[in-house]
Structure 1
C-alpha cells in the first residue's frame, strides 16, 4: 500500500525537479548550469487560522510548479521517492509558462 502524506496547517509537500544532466543529443551538461531550484506541489495542508478563528487556506494547489529557497524544508521519504516539506511562507513563488 502506497503512503500518502497530507501536510498539516500551512505546509506544502514538494517533489523537487531535477534538471537533466544531458541534452537530447547526449551532450553532458555541467552541474552548475543556471538551474532554478524548483519543485512540483504534491499535496497542501488545509491552512492556518487567524486570530478570529477564520481559516486562511494555502494559496498553492497540487500540480503547480514553485520556486524554492536554496536552503530549508524538511526532507521526507515515502517509499522510494524523496519529497520536501515547506511552510507556505518559505516558498518564493509559483512558476508559469
Structure 2
C-alpha cells in the first residue's frame, strides 16, 4: 500500500492541529520546490533524523540495448540519492 499526494495531504492535515488540507498541500508543494531548487544547485537537503536528499554524479558508461544486445554509450549525468534517517529506520524496524 502507498499514499498518493492527496492522501498524504489529508494525512498531514489530520495529524497537524489547525492545518487545513489546502495549507497542507501548500506546505507539500513548497517542500517539493525547495528540494528541486536545492538539488538543482547541487546542495543537499537534510532533515535530521528523518531523511537526507542529495544530487550524485553518474559517470558515462557503456550499456547494452536489451532488445538487440547492441552496446550503447550512456552519457554522464546526475541522479538523486535519498537516505533514511534514524527515526525512519526505527519506524520500519518495529
Shorter-chain TM-score range: under 0.3
**Structure number with higher strand proportion:** 1
Answer 1 or 2: which has greater helix percent: 2
TM-score, structure 1 length as denominator? 0.25
Is the radius of gyration larger for structure 1 or structure 2? 2
Q: Which has the higher contact order (CA 8 A, sep 6+)?
A: 1
Q: TM-score, normalised by structure 2?
A: 0.26
